[in-house]
Structure formats: C-alpha cells, structure tokens
Amino acid sequence: MTSQIKYLLTEADIPKFWYNIVADLPTPPPPVLHPGTGQPIGPEDLAPLFPMAIIQQEVSIEREIEIPGPVRDVLKQWRPSPLYRARRLEQSLDTPARIYYKYEGISPAGSHKPNTAVAQAFYNSEAGVRCITTETGAGQWGSALALAGSLFGLDIEVFMVKVSYEQKPYRRAFMETFGATCIASPSNTTEAGRTILEENPDSTGSLGIAISEAVESAAQREDTKYALGSVLNHVLLHQTIIGQEALKQFELADDYPDIVIGCTGGGSNFAGIAFPFLGRRLRGEQDVQIVAVEPANCPTLTKGRYAYDFGDTAKLTPLVKMHTLGSGFVPPGFHAGGLRYHGMAPLVSQLAESGAINPRSYSQAECFEAGVRFAKAEGIIPAPEANHAVKAAIDEAIACQRDGVAKAILFNLCGHGHFDMQAYTDYFAGQLHDETYDESEVAMALAGLPSV
Ligand SMILES: *Cc1c(COP(=O)(O)O)cnc(C)c1O
C-alpha cells in the first residue's frame, strides 16, 4: 500500500499577516448601500453591529493586515494545519494526478470557522463588548464562536436554524459546554422571528431568518454586538491563513497546484484556500485554475443573479452586490447545512462575475458517494459541505486519467463530519433524496430584489 505524505510546518510558520485580495483586484468592489437611502454607507453606519477594528478590515484596501499576537497565540493550539498528499486516494482512482488537501478539521470545533471566530472575539473583547449574537446553520459557526467567546470572556447567543437544531442536538450541547445560549430560529424572542412564525408556524428556518434575529437582538443592547461567520470581507480575510500556509507547504513538496478547489456556502473557506493562490495569479506571478463548488439545491453562483440584495430575510442588513437567489428564498432542507445560504460573499461573487474563478454545482448524493470513497482511502470522514470539494477533486483526477495528464489538485477539507453521522446514516439507507429547489420560489424571491 502506498502511504499518505504529510507536510508539516512549525509554529513560526503561522502567517503574521492576513492577505487582503482587494489590493490585487483589477476593479474596486462595488460599494455597500444603506437599505433605506440606497446611498453608500460609511463605517459609522456599521458601528452598532461591529467593533471599529473589524469595520476597518471590512473596508481595507491594504494588501497585508497584521494578525494580533493574542490571536496567533490561540491559533497555534492547532495551526499550522497539515497538508496531505492523498496518495492512497490517487491509487484507488488509478490517476496520474497529484491530489493534495489542507485539513481544517483538526481545529477544536472541527472546521475552519475558529480561524475567524478567534479574531472576531479578540477585537470585540478589546472594544469592551460583553455579548455577541450570531446565527448558525449546521452548527459549526455557533460552535466556533462559543469556543472563542469562552476564551475571551464573552457571552455568546446563537440563533440556530431550526431544522439543524432538531437534527444536530450534539452541536447544541457543544455550544452549551462553552457557556453559549442556543435558540432555535425562527424563535418568538425577536420581532423578525415572530413575523415568520405568524406566516408559517412550521418554518424550518434559514440562515437569512437567523441573521435577522441575531442582528435585531444585537441592535437592541448597548453592550452587545453581532458576528457573522462567512460572506463579509473581514471573514474571508481571516481565513487566508489557510492558503498562505498551503503556499509554504507546496514549497516543501516542491510542487504547485494547477487547480485549487473549495466548497462555497458563503464563500469563506473557499476564499481562505484560494485567495492567496489567486492573488499570485492576479499579480502575474503564477497561473492557477480556481474552482468553487456549491450544492445543486442552493446554486447561488451558478444560477443566482449578480445584484444588490439584503443579507437577511427581514431586510435589516445593508445592501451588498452579490450572487443571490433572493433574500426571501428558503432552500430545501438538505444535509450540507453550511451551504444553505441565499447569497454569496461579494468578493467571491465579483470574481465569479469577471470569470476569474469557475463555479460548478453537484447534487448531494454524488457528493456523499465521493466522501465515502475519500474516507475509505484517507481515513478521514469529511463534513457534508466538504464532500462537495472532495467530489470536484475526484472528478478532476478522473479527467486527468482520461486525458493522460498529471495535474496537481489542491482542495480544502474544511471540516470533519463527526457531528453529521445522521447524514451518512441516511445516505447508506438510500434516503438522501435530491429534492430539487423550487424554481418558482427563486423567481418570486428574485422579483422581490430591491431596486437600486
Ligand atoms: C460553515 C461551513 C461551510 C460553509 O461556509 P463557507 O463560508 O462557504 O466556508 C462549509 N464547510 C464547513 C465545514 C463549514 O463549517
């Protein structure tokens, strides 16, 4: 049997700066607009929700932003994360391709999410904030922020999408272990939640609804701010340590990827692995192909419209230009809960619109098939979200075999699936029906886009 190869770095190799791709974009990002006036907003408009240090990162055009010492101190518990060469998977596929994956499941919360949760908790505690509200889909973001909040002495209040709250009781227990409060969304604790429940008492919830509840809850209290685990520029920024470490690990491997792949829910783990490589391409240093993979049931990049939209269902957030299925769209309840968001990170959307990255979508059954194949070869059970990236990497490797070319393929294994075993149980029982999303619902949600 061939063996895996593991490329390890030392603590000193943890990046000292985050990489801001805005500095290398050919055109500046479209402005964020005020939901009432339709005019560009300024930093002070965001001050009720975020500490100023984070707002400055959100609008920064600097290429490198220093990572504070206390943040690096926490990250070094599990960073640098390993890069593996998937030799056993290559062998099982009989492919000439070289497959590499960066494994973010080694963090205490089991995904890439703590990379930004730790930074966000740090800046909030520095600003004297006592409590942070947030939303969570599958529970990974809530888990990450609960962990980070306990390290920096913050109360964390998590609105968890109801379908996940019911499917994943262990995620709730995880958050509660760190002292966080977890509320099923839609809830009757907010105006936004009550409105949804009046219209549809059986609502299974969505990220858009949970964001409305968390934003409303934060806006009501002086000592409370809000945190988002994906989509926004500063979140993507914090994740770029993934790709920066991978660049160093490829030096150790004396190789360079031809293709970099990430799954996209709101776009943060994808940006984390891809942006440092894409930046090198944008600066004319080295070519690479970038692939973003999304679920066929929530096809934001491949089927959504590039337009100004709200980030939430109750239309409380500022307007951002992004690929969207409409903020009123509630995707069907499939298992990759972390990928059930109606929009996409504005930076990822802009890059897709300009053709700089290649989006594609897969249905969930084929992703689980790929995930099981990967697990058997590599010994790690991927999160259902990560299975989308695994599927694309396997497809690319099979294409290499067919075409007789030996490409280097890198993908981000953004989390493990230990809290998602019910999804695997359903897959093995043949019960993963690929319920397709309702196109008329998307048409309705898109017809309701704000006119700016
Ligand atoms: C949250 C999450 C995602 C989706 O969020 P992105 O911002 O698109 O990365 C994907 N995979 C895992 C394991 C997650 O926890």
3-state SS of 434-447 is CCCCCHHHHHHHHH
Given the structure tokens 């070094």, which residue do they identify? 76
Helix-strand-coil percent breakdown of the chain, rounded to 5? 45, 20, 40
pLDDT beyond 90 at 312: no
pLDDT band at 121 (very low <50, low <70, confident <90, very high): very high
Q: Which amino acid is at 320?
A: V
**Ligand 1 and 415: CB distance under 6 A:** yes
**Exposed/middle/buried for 447, CB within 10 Å: 0-12, 13-18, 19+?**
exposed
Give domain status of residue 134, yes or no: no
Give domain status of residue 323, yes or no: yes
**Ligand 1 and 105: CB distance under 6 A:** no
**Ligand 1 and 104: CB distance under 6 A:** no
Rounded distance between C-alpha atoms, residue 169 and residue 437, angstroms? 26
* Residue 383 Cα: closest atom of ligand 1: 13
**Ligand 1 and 217: CB distance under 6 A:** no
This prediction's pTM: 0.97
Rounded distance between C-alpha atoms, residue 103 and residue 270, angstroms? 13
* Residue 385 Cα: closest atom of ligand 1: 11
* Residue 268 Cα: closest atom of ligand 1: 7
Q: pLDDT averaged over the chain?
A: 95
**Ligand 1 and 341: CB distance under 6 A:** no
**Ligand 1 and 14: CB distance under 6 A:** no
**Ligand 1 and 109: CB distance under 6 A:** no
- Write down the pLDDT at residue 167: 86
Greatest CA separation found in the chain? 64
Give domain status of residue 189, yes or no: no
pLDDT beyond 80 at 417: yes
Cβ distance 158 to 136 under 8 Å?
A: yes
Q: Kindly give the distance from the C-alpha atom of residue 112 to the centroid of ligand 1, in angstroms, as a whole number.
A: 7
Give domain status of residue 31, yes or no: no
pLDDT band at 331 (very low <50, low <70, confident <90, very high): confident
If one compares 313 and 322, the residue with the highest pLDDT of the two is 322
Closest residue (by CA) to atom 13 of ligand 1? 415
Closest residue (by CA) to atom 1 of ligand 1? 338
Q: Which amino acid is at 100?
A: Y
pLDDT beyond 90 at 413: yes
Read off the CATH number of the domain in which 327 is found. Answer: 3.40.50.1100
- 54: CB partners within 8 A, 6+ apart: 120, 123, 124, 234
pLDDT beyond 90 at 445: no
Q: Kindly give the distance from the C-alpha atom of residue 265 to the centroid of ligand 1, in angstroms, as a whole number.
A: 6
**Ligand 1 and 382: CB distance under 6 A:** no
- Write down the pLDDT at residue 48: 93
CA dist 7 → 135, 174, 249, 253 (Å): 35, 30, 6, 7
Q: Kindly give the distance from the C-alpha atom of residue 440 to the centroid of ligand 1, in angstroms, as a whole number.
A: 27
Taking the alpha carbons at both ends of the chain, their separation in whole angstroms is: 60
Cβ distance 113 to 141 under 8 Å?
A: yes
Residue range 207-223: average pLDDT?
93
pLDDT beyond 90 at 159: yes
Residue range 211-216: average pLDDT?
95
Residue range 71-97: average pLDDT?
98
Percent of the residues in the chain that have a pLDDT greater than 70, as a whole number: 100
- Write down the pLDDT at residue 339: 84
Give me the domain span that covers residue 98: 5-14+68-110+234-447
* Residue 271 Cα: closest atom of ligand 1: 9
- Write down the pLDDT at residue 299: 93
pLDDT beyond 80 at 134: yes
pLDDT band at 219 (very low <50, low <70, confident <90, very high): very high
Q: Kindly give the distance from the C-alpha atom of residue 410 to the centroid of ligand 1, in angstroms, as a whole number.
A: 17
Residue range 325-329: average pLDDT?
90
Give domain status of residue 252, yes or no: yes
**Ligand 1 and 265: CB distance under 6 A:** yes
pLDDT band at 175 (very low <50, low <70, confident <90, very high): very high
Give domain status of residue 258, yes or no: yes
Give domain status of residue 337, yes or no: yes
**Ligand 1 and 385: CB distance under 6 A:** yes
> How many domains are there within the chain?
1
Q: Closest by alpha carbon to 342, among 238, 446, 415, 263?
A: 446
Rounded distance between C-alpha atoms, residue 100 and residue 256, angstroms? 10
**Ligand 1 and 326: CB distance under 6 A:** no
Give domain status of residue 376, yes or no: yes
